[in-house]
Amino acid sequence: MLTLYGISNCDTIRKTRRFLDDRAIPYQFIDVRKTPLSLEKLTRISAQVGLDVLVNRRGQTYRKLKIKERNPNETELLRLLHREQAMIRRPLLEYDNRYHVGYDEEALSHFLQNR
């Protein structure tokens, strides 16, 4: 089954849910604030999509923590991402150990066609 990870009150997550619902695509939603992803899972996702893709550098949490100024290495950034999961770029979708990050309807459609 397709899994959508995100935050319930996020506009991008609402838009993604609408996108999936309009196409009658079944999915499971997991709010990462209530059920955080493990560090091991974040490491696997990062290895597949890249840490630069996975981290939302434009979000409030990233700016609030002044991460750019701290210039963390990859391991430190993964640990920060694990602790502050609001920094995960949304949406994050998982299907059959493949991941898609970000809202781009064309890329999202392509990802979903290959499930």
Question: Among the residues of 3-114, which ranges form H helices?
Answer: 11-22, 39-49, 51-54, 60-64, 67-70, 74-83, 105-113
Concerning whether 48 is annotated as a catalytic residue, the answer is no
Residue among 10, 53, 65, 112 flagged as catalytic: 10
Structure tokens at 27: 């999915």
Give CB contacts under 8 A, 24+ apart, made by 107-110: 108/16, 108/19
Cα 38–Cα 89–Cα 87 angle in degrees, nearest 5: 65
Enzyme catalytic residues? 10
